[in-house]
Amino acid sequence: MRVQGDDLLLSIRVTPKAANTGFAGFGEDAAGQAYLKVRVTVVPEKGKANKAVLALLAKALGMAKSRLFVVSGESDRNKVIRIVGAGDLGTEEALARLS
């Protein structure tokens, strides 16, 4: 997670069609980049999984869904989510809410 202006950018890895919806801790890719593991029960078609991910993140952060956007990885398991106006929340507070 990193701050960019007033926004937070969050790297995630999504597991669609999971047994349950929720967070599964943190992982690290081959380049050493940390990401949040997110599981959703919906199928990855027509943006359904992306909508479920954004709803889950918004609820956990206590924010409106309209403040979250997929900025990369629209059709990939690895995504970057922009959380608009959450820079004041801070990375530690955001990570605490997502844990």
CA 41-45-48 angle, to 5 degrees, is 55
Rounded to whole angstroms, how far apart are CA atoms 62 and 73? 24
Residue 91 pLDDT more than 70?
Answer: no
- DSSP letter at 46 equals T
Domains, the chain, with CATH or none: 2-98 (3.30.1200.10)
Q: In 20-66, where do the E strands start and end?
A: 22-28, 34-39
Rounded to whole angstroms, how far apart are CA atoms 54 and 12? 11
28-85 pLDDT, tens digit each: 989 898 999 999 999 999 999 999 999 999 999 888 999 999 999 999 999 999 999 8
